[in-house]
Structure 1
Amino acid sequence: MKNELRISLKILTFYFLIIGLVVLQSCDDEPVDPIVVVDSDNDGIPDAQDNCPSISNPNQSDVDNDGIGDSCDTTNDLDTDNDGIPDDEDNCPLIPNPDQIDDDGDGIGNACQDNPDLTPMFPCIDGMAGPYPCDGYDLMGHIPVSVLANNLGNPEGSDIWGWTDTTTGKEYALVAMTNSTAFVDVSDPTNPIFLGRLDTATSTSYWRDVKVYNNYAFIVADNVGAHGMQVFDLTRLRSVTNPPENFTSDALYSGFGSAHNIVINENSGYAYAVGSSRSGTYGGGPLFINIQNPLNPIGEGGFFGYAHDAQVVTYNGPDSDYAGREIIVGSNENEVVIADITDKGNPIEIATISYNNVGYTHQGWFTEDMRYFILGDETDELGFGNNTRTIVFDFTDLDNPTFKMDYIGPSAAIDHNGYVKGNSYYLANYTAGLRVIDISGVDGNSMNEIAYFDTHPENNNTSFNGAWSVYPYFQSGNIIISDIERGLFIVRPTQ
C-alpha cells in the first residue's frame, strides 16, 4: 500500500510539474505591452523627467533650482541682491531695496534710478540734453559709428540688442553695423567700454540683426549672399583685457544665405530666420532652426510666405485653445499672419489680418498679457501723409483677430522697431528718436506719449535717418538706442 501511495504521489508531482512548465512557457510567449513614453509638450523631454511638462522647454531652464522649469514656474524665488524680494518681482534686482519704492511708477525702483555716482553726460534740462531734444530722459553715454565700425566704408548703424551676464550682472550692448557687430560694456552707462567687433561673414549690409539665446549672439544680414548665421559666445566678453579686440565667430550656420532678421524664442530654444531669399523653399518665410546646442544649429523646416519680421512666443495669453503652444506672429509686408509652429513638421496657419492704408507691414510686439499686438507700418507716413501711426490689434481670440485702434504720434517721422515693457511701448521713430508711449489705457482706446529722447536733432522729417532700434529690457533701467548716423546712445529716466 505504501509503495502504491509513493507511486501515486510521484505521478501527481510529475503531472503538476508538466502543467507548470506549460503555463510558464505560455506566459513567455505572450506579447509584452510596449513602454509608452509620454511627452505632452513635444519638447523631446519625457513628462517623467520634464520640469515643465505642459509647456515646451527643451533647455529645462530652472533659475531658482526648485525643480520647476522657468516656463511653468510662477514663483521663481531667485534673489540676486538678497533683499527678500524674488528677482521676478523685484523692481531693482541687483541692488537691495526691500521697500520697493518707485516714486515715478515706471516699474524701476528708486534704488536703481537714484544713483548719485551716475552723473549724466547731458541731463535733460528745459527740453534739451546737450544738443538733443528730450523729455524725461538723460543722456548717460554715447559711442559714435566711427568708433563702433572703425569708420571703414562709410558705415552706418542698424539693429541693436542687449545681453546681461547672469554670472557678473554686467550689461552689454550688441550693436549691428553695416560692416560688423560691435560689443559694448554699458554696465557703467557714463563710461561705456567698446570691447571689440565681429566682422561681417561676407560683405557690408545696411540690414544686420542680432538676438541672444543662452549667452550666445546670433547674427544675420540681408542682401549679402552666403552670409548665413554667425554664432558668438558672449561669455568671451568677460575676459577682454585690451579692448578693442577683433573677434571671430564660434560657429557659422550656412543653411541659408542672407536674411533680413533673426527671431528667437528663448523658451523653446529655436531661432527663426525671416526675410531670406524669396526664391528659396519657403519663399522668404520663417526658417526653423534648432539652437538648443548653440554651436550646432540644426534646420528643421519652415513656413511659407515672406515675413519681414516676426515675434515668436510660448503662448500664455487669453485664448486657452493655444495655451503652451509656440505661436509666431509675422509682419508680412501687407498683413499680419498668426501661425502655430509647435510641430515644426506641420506648421498651421491660424489667422491673418490687414488694416486700412497699408504701406509696409513692418514689425510688431505683443503686450505682456498677450491680449493686444502693437504694429508699425514703415511706409504709411510716406504713402498717405499721416503722422506716425501705430496700429493695435485685439488678439484675445487668435482665430479671430480684430482691429482695436490707431495711435497717431506728434510728428510725421517714420516708425521702425518697437518693444513693450510693462505699460510702456518703446518706439524707435527714426528722425524723432526714441518715443515712450503709455499703453496702460489701451483697453479704453487710449495711448499717449509720456517721454522721448531725440537722437536726430536736425528735424523730424519723413525719412530713413535717425533711430533704427531700441532695447528697453535691462534691469538697471538704462535703455540703449542704435542710431543710423550717430551710433550707440545710452539713456536713462531723468531723476
Structure 2
Amino acid sequence: MYMKRIILFMTFLPLILECQNSYNLNLLGTYDWNSTEGNDIWGWVDPADESEYALVGLVNGFSCVNVTNPSNPVEEFFISDLSSTWRDVKTWGNYAYVTTEANAGLLIVDLNDMTGNTYWNIFQFNNPTTGQSTSFTASHNLYIDENGICYIFGASSNNGSNPADGAIFLDVAANPTNPHYLGAWNDEYIHDGMVRGDTLYAGCIYTGNLYVIDVSDKNNPVTIGTHPTPNAFTHNAWVSDDGNYVFTTDETSDAYIGAYDISDVTNIQEVDRIQSNPGSNSIPHNTHVDGNFIVTSWYRDGTTVHDVSNPHNMVQVAYYDSYSGSGDGFDGCWGTYPFLPSGNIISSDINSNNNNNARLLVYERNFSGACFLEGNVTDGNTGANLVGASIEILNTFIPNSSSTTLNGNYSCGNADAGLFDVKYSMPGYISDTLSVNLINGQTVIQDAQLFTDPSIPILGCMDSLASNYNPNANISVEFGGEADNTFSTGGYFNGNQHLIFDAYNEFVIKSAVFYADDNNTVTFELRNSMGTVLDDTTYTLSQGQQQLELNFNVPIGIDFQLGISSGGSGLYRNNDGAVYPYNIGSIMNITGSSATSAPDYYYFYYNIEIEVPCVGIITQSYDCDGQGNCFDPGNGNGIYSSLNDCQINCIVESYDCDGQGNCFDPGNGSGLYLSLNDCQNNCILESYDCDGQGNCFDPGNGNGIYSSLNDCQNNCHLTGTYDLQNNKKVRFITDLLGQKTIYRSNNILIYQYEDGTVEKKVIIK
C-alpha cells in the first residue's frame, strides 16, 4: 500500500527558486515560431548521416527542425495544415505520421525529402486481404510500435463514417504511404497510449483508468487489466523497459505521475505517486520512460526528470521550467522527447517565447541516479507505527518530502549526495531532526522515533480495556476546522465542492455546523480519494445556522473528501481567508479544498466535531484456578463478576475420607488429601480380622471379617484346644451357605484357615 509522496517546496526558498528555473538540465538552444502556438513533439534521426531532427506539431501545421547543432536549430521545412490545438507526431522508418483533431485525416510526410513537398493526407484505410476498411477525418493521438503497427487513438469523422474512438490498428510497415487496416478496439475512448510487443497500455481519460489490452489478435483485442489513476483523468501511459511497471499522467490540475506494478495484469497495484511542484496546481501532460528515468512535460512547470529505478520510490533529479507563469492552466510545455542518440532532450512549448508563441527547446543532461532514503517511524513510548508522519530532507535544491504509510514506513530521496538533515514530524508529537549521509544510486535506511507533546490535544480512546486504547490520548472529543463563517468574506454557493483531509487514525465525524440560504434537502457525503461514497446522510435544512449529526465512520487514509452529493445546495462557503492545514485532535488534518485555483476557499463544514469511540471493551470476570488463585479469562465468561467475589469463594481444593470409602471436600482447604485422586486411592472402608491369637487387625483392603474394631475384639479369642495347639490363623468364616460372615454365637460356622484346613464349629454361648 502507498501513502502520499510529493516534492514539497519549502517556504523559505521562494527567492532562490524564483531566479533558479532549472536544475541538472542545461538549455543548449531554442527555436521560436512567431505566429502560432505549439503542441506535441517527436524526434527522428536520418539513417544516412545521423542528423537529429525535432518533429513539432503547431496549431497551423507541422514543422521539421534540424537540431544536430543544438545551439543553432534550423527549420528544414513547414507544412501548413488546418488549424487545430491538437497535433501529434510519430515515425516509422523515414516517414512521419501526424494526427490532428481538425478534419485533415492522417498526414504522412516523407522525411527523405527535406523540402517538405512530399506528403499525403489519408482518410480511407483498407485491408486488401480481408476487404475490411475504416475511415476517419480526425483523431487525437497515435503510437507506432516496433512491428510497424500504427495505433490511432480517439478517432472521429465528419463524413458520416463511424470509426472506433478507442484504437484503430493500421499496418504502416506493409505500405508506409497507404497503411492497411487491421482491426480496432472500441470498448472505451482512448486519449493516448503506447504499445510494446502485443500489449497496449491505454489512457482512457474519461473513465479515469489505465487499460492493459492484449492486441496479439488485431481482429479480437482483449482487455486483460485495468486500474484507476490518482486523479481519475488518465492521459498517457508508458511501460518500463523490463515490462513490470507502467507510469501514467492525469491531465488535470494538481495531479500526479502514478507508478503501477503490472507483473500480474489481473491484479495491478499502485506503488507510488509524485508531483513536480505540489501546491502550484500545475498539470502533468506526457511522460516517457528512458531507462531508469522518466521524462515528463508539465504545463506551466516545464520539463522534469525522475529516477524510477525503484518505482516504489520515485525521486525528481532534474527540471527546466520554461514558462514564466505558474499554477493551473494549459500553457508552457506540451511535449518532450528523450530518445535522441546524442542524449539531448527536446521539448515543445505552447507559448513560452517572448511573443507568447511556440518554442522548441534543446536540453543537455546533467543528472545522475538519485539518492534514496527509506525507513520506519514509530511512537517512542509505545513502539506503535506512526501513520502520516512527515519526513523532509532539508536544504536541498529540489526539496523532497514523504509521509509514512499504514505500516509506518516512508521512502523519499534527493538528487544530490552528501550529508543532510532530515526532519521527522507529526501532529501531536515533538519533531526530531536527524543527519544522514546520502549516496547516489544507493538506498540509506534511517528509522526514527517521535514522542508525544503533552501540550497538544491528542484525540483517542482512553479506556485501557478497549482494543483501540491509545495511551497517548488526552481527549475523547474535539472540534476543529473553521469555528464559524465569520472569519472572512463569502456567500451562499450552489456549486459542488468539498474539503480534503487525511486521517491518521480511525474516528467518527459526529457533527458539523452548516449555514443554509433557504429550506432545501441536501445529502452530505464522506468519500475516498477516488470519489467513492463511504458514508452519507440526508437532511432537510431550514434557513440559517444549524448543527447536524453526521456520524461518518472514517478509516485511516489520505485525501478523503468531505462534501455534498450535488450542486444546488445553497450552503455558505468562504471565498477568502482559509489557512490550511486545519489539524483536529492530531488525527484529522484538513489539507485543502477541491477549489485548487482558489486555495484560500473554505467549504460548508464548520465547527466539525470528531471522536474516537472505544471499541472491543471486554467485561471483567474471574475464575478460580483450584489453587486458591483468581484470574480473568479475558473473554468476559468467568464465574465471578468481581475479584472480591472470587477471592471469597476461591479456597484451595482438599479432600477427606469419610471412613465409608467416600471422599469429600471439607470446604476449608484443610482436607487430608490435596487432590480427589489421592483421596480415592487411599479412602478404603475400615474392616478387621482376627489373627487367631485373640488379636484384631485391619487388612488394609476393606475385606476384613469385622466391620468395626469393637466387633472384632468381642469375638476374637481362642475358640478351642485345636486352635491353641495348632496355632493356626483364621482366613475367613462362612455360614452353611458359603457366604462370608463374622463371628456369631449360637450358629453353625465354617472356619477356613490359612493352611487350607476347614473346621465346622458350633458356638454356644
> For the superposition of Structure 1 and Structure 2, which TM-score range results when normalised by the shorter chain?
0.5 to 0.7
Q: What is the match of residue 10 of structure 1?
A: none
Corresponding residue SS for 1:416: strand
Question: Over aligned residues, Cα RMSD in angstroms?
Answer: 2.2
Q: Report whether the alignment pairs 1:345 with 2:223.
A: no
Q: What is the match of residue 176 of structure 2?
A: 294
Paired with 1:344 and 1:405, the residues of 2 have a C-alpha distance of: 33
Shift in CA distance, 281/329, structure 1 to aligned 2, threshold 3 Å: farther
1:287-345 deviation digits (Å, cap 9, x = unpaired): 1111112012111221112100111111xxxxxxxxxxx11111001211111111111
Paired with 1:253 and 1:212, the residues of 2 have a C-alpha distance of: 18
Paired with 2:55 and 2:294, the residues of 1 have a C-alpha distance of: 21
Q: Within 5 A, what are the aligned runs for 1:107-126?
A: none
Q: Pick from 313, 336, 345: which aligns with 1:446?
A: 313
Corresponding residue SS for 2:112: helix
Q: Is the 8 A contact 1:209 1:221 kept in 2?
A: yes
Q: Is the 8 A contact 2:230 2:258 kept in 1?
A: no
Q: What is the match of residue 472 of structure 1?
A: 338
Q: How far off its partner does 1:127 sit?
A: 7.9
Paired with 1:284 and 1:185, the residues of 2 have a C-alpha distance of: 34
Q: How far off its partner does 1:252 sit?
A: 2.8
Q: How far off its partner does 1:246 sit?
A: 5.4
Amino acid at match of 1:488: L
Paired with 2:123 and 2:162, the residues of 1 have a C-alpha distance of: 17
Q: Is the 8 A contact 1:211 1:218 kept in 2?
A: yes
Q: What is the match of residue 161 of structure 1?
A: 42
Amino acid at match of 1:363: N
Paired with 2:150 and 2:288, the residues of 1 have a C-alpha distance of: 18
**Larger relative helix fraction:** 1
Q: Report whether the alignment pairs 1:231 with 2:108.
A: yes
Q: Is the 8 A contact 1:199 1:248 kept in 2?
A: no
How many corresponding residue pairs?
A: 329
Shift in CA distance, 483/357, structure 1 to aligned 2, threshold 3 Å: closer
Q: Is the 8 A contact 1:309 1:330 kept in 2?
A: yes
Q: Pick from 115, 119, 131: which aligns with 1:249?
A: 119
Paired with 2:147 and 2:340, the residues of 1 have a C-alpha distance of: 22
Paired with 1:474 and 1:262, the residues of 2 have a C-alpha distance of: 20
Corresponding residue SS for 1:247: coil
Q: What is the match of residue 361 of structure 2?
A: 489
TM-score, normalised on structure 2? 0.41
Q: Pick from 271, 287, 292: which aligns with 1:423?
A: 292
Shift in CA distance, 389/257, structure 1 to aligned 2, threshold 3 Å: same
Paired with 1:310 and 1:283, the residues of 2 have a C-alpha distance of: 15
Paired with 2:228 and 2:17, the residues of 1 have a C-alpha distance of: 39
Shift in CA distance, 429/303, structure 1 to aligned 2, threshold 3 Å: same
**Rg (Cα) greater in structure:** 2
Q: Report whether the alignment pairs 1:264 with 2:147.
A: no
Paired with 1:338 and 1:210, the residues of 2 have a C-alpha distance of: 23
Paired with 2:74 and 2:107, the residues of 1 have a C-alpha distance of: 23
Paired with 2:307 and 2:342, the residues of 1 have a C-alpha distance of: 20
Shift in CA distance, 199/193, structure 1 to aligned 2, threshold 3 Å: same
Q: Pick from 258, 266, 269: which aligns with 1:399?
A: 266
Corresponding residue SS for 2:78: strand
Q: What is the match of residue 35 of structure 1?
A: none
TM-score, normalised on structure 1? 0.63
1:20-66 deviation digits (Å, cap 9, x = unpaired): xxxxxxxxxxxxxxxxxxxxxxxxxxxxxxxxxxxxxxxxxxxxxxx
1:102-150 deviation digits (Å, cap 9, x = unpaired): xxxxxxxxxxxxxxxxxxxxxxxx9899x8811112211111121xxxx
Question: Which structure has more RCO (C-alpha within 8 Å, separation ≥ 6)?
Answer: 1
Q: How far off its partner does 1:426 sit?
A: 0.4
Q: How far off its partner does 1:473 sit?
A: 0.3
Q: How far off its partner does 1:277 sit?
A: 2.1
Shift in CA distance, 421/246, structure 1 to aligned 2, threshold 3 Å: closer
Corresponding residue SS for 2:22: strand
Q: Is the 8 A contact 2:229 2:248 kept in 1?
A: no
Q: Is the 8 A contact 1:145 1:485 kept in 2?
A: no
Corresponding residue SS for 1:167: coil
1:346-367 deviation digits (Å, cap 9, x = unpaired): 1112122114542x11111111
Q: Is the 8 A contact 1:209 1:220 kept in 2?
A: yes
Paired with 1:271 and 1:357, the residues of 2 have a C-alpha distance of: 28
Q: Pick from 314, 317, 326: which aligns with 1:460?
A: 326
Corresponding residue SS for 1:399: helix
Paired with 1:248 and 1:234, the residues of 2 have a C-alpha distance of: 8
Q: How far off its partner does 1:410 sit?
A: 2.5
1:141-192 deviation digits (Å, cap 9, x = unpaired): 111121xxxx2xxx21000000011221110000000111100110010111
Paired with 1:191 and 1:426, the residues of 2 have a C-alpha distance of: 23
Paired with 1:466 and 1:409, the residues of 2 have a C-alpha distance of: 14
Q: Is the 8 A contact 1:426 1:435 kept in 2?
A: yes
Shift in CA distance, 128/249, structure 1 to aligned 2, threshold 3 Å: farther
Q: How far off its partner does 1:282 sit?
A: 5.4
1:205-226 deviation digits (Å, cap 9, x = unpaired): 000001000111001101x22x
Paired with 1:189 and 1:494, the residues of 2 have a C-alpha distance of: 15
Q: Is the 8 A contact 1:230 1:253 kept in 2?
A: no
Q: What is the match of residue 219 of structure 1?
A: 98
Paired with 2:270 and 2:100, the residues of 1 have a C-alpha distance of: 32
Q: What is the match of residue 434 of structure 1?
A: 303
Q: Between the two proteins, what is the percent identity of the paired residues?
A: 31
Q: How far off its partner does 1:253 sit?
A: 4.2
Corresponding residue SS for 2:284: coil
Paired with 2:16 and 2:117, the residues of 1 have a C-alpha distance of: 40
Paired with 2:229 and 2:98, the residues of 1 have a C-alpha distance of: 32
Shift in CA distance, 221/127, structure 1 to aligned 2, threshold 3 Å: farther
Paired with 1:474 and 1:493, the residues of 2 have a C-alpha distance of: 12
Q: How far off its partner does 1:459 sit?
A: 2.6
Q: Is the 8 A contact 1:127 1:135 kept in 2?
A: no
Corresponding residue SS for 2:341: coil
1:47-99 deviation digits (Å, cap 9, x = unpaired): xxxxxxxxxxxxxxxxxxxxxxxxxxxxxxxxxxxxxxxxxxxxxxxxxxxxx
Paired with 2:50 and 2:327, the residues of 1 have a C-alpha distance of: 39
Q: Is the 8 A contact 2:333 2:347 kept in 1?
A: yes
Q: Is the 8 A contact 1:251 1:295 kept in 2?
A: no
